[in-house]
């Protein structure tokens, strides 16, 4: 961040220097907030990808392996002396159990995905600090001051006659 001691006459910094310093510091703060959010989201995306891959593998196993392997396993169990219907039920139950286990693994990975808590807390803290900052009050501008600043002879006549105050008031309102 900027160091006020770097400026000559650092106790008497101009408004331009103060605005430039505040702008630079605010820009650095926003940049750091974005970097933190990216880092947190990147971690959660990796967890989400692992969970998604688990569901994809589960789907592939159920779609491609069940028809092929279930017939082979069922006939293998049937050759051991069990009835053919019971053999097919055992094989089907085994594949359902495998699918449920993979689904539970995927759900466990998805539950670990969290919102970027550090970024949210930091953004809330920054917002709270900025809400407490009070803007520099503007001096009140009257119609007479606007007419006197213009320095024309018409403005002197308008002030004396009182005419033009409505117009000057409208100008003062539009300039603030």
**How many CB atoms are closer than 10 A to CB 74?**
20
Predicted confidence (pLDDT) at residue 170 exceeds the cutoff of 80: no
- DSSP secondary-structure letter at 140? P
**Encoding tokens for residue 111?**
């539950």
Query: What gap in Å lies between CA 161 and CA 158, rounded to an integer?
Result: 5
Mean pLDDT score, 147-176: 55
Best CA proximity match to 2, nearest among 25, 34, 19 = 25
* Numbers of helices and strands, H then E, in the chain: 7, 0
Query: What gap in Å lies between CA 100 and CA 113, rounded to an integer?
Result: 21
Predicted confidence (pLDDT) at residue 27 exceeds the cutoff of 60: yes
Residue 19 has a pLDDT of 86
Q: Name the percent of the chain lying above pLDDT 70.
A: 69
pLDDT in tens, 37-83: 888 888 888 888 988 998 998 888 788 877 887 898 899 999 999 99
The answer to whether the pTM exceeds 0.95 is: no
Lowest mean pLDDT among 7-11, 52-56, 131-135: 7-11
Output 151 or 32, whichever has higher pLDDT.
32
**Encoding tokens for residue 144?**
């007479």
Residue 150 has a pLDDT of 65
86: pLDDT confidence band, cut at 50, 70 and 90? very high
């Amino acid at each position: 961040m900027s160091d006020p001691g770097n400026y000559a006459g650092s106790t008497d910094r101009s408004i331009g220097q103060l605005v430039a310093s505040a702008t630079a510091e605010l820009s650095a703060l926003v940049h750091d907030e974005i970097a933190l959010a990216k880092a947190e989201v990147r971690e959660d995306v990796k967890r989400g990808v692992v969970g998604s891959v688990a569901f994809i593998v589960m789907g592939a196993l159920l779609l491609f392996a069940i028809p092929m392997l279930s017939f082979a396993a069922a006939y293998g169990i049937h050759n051991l002396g069990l009835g053919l219907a019971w053999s097919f039920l055992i094989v089907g139950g085994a594949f359902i159990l495998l699918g449920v286990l993979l689904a539970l693994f995927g759900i466990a990975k998805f539950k670990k995905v969290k919102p970027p808590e550090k970024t949210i807390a930091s953004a809330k803290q920054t917002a709270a600090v900025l809400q407490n900052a009070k803007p520099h009050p503007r001096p009140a501008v009257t119609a007479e001051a606007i007419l006197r600043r213009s320095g024309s002879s018409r403005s002197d006549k308008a002030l004396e006659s009182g005419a033009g105050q409505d117009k000057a008031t409208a100008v003062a309102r539009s300039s603030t």
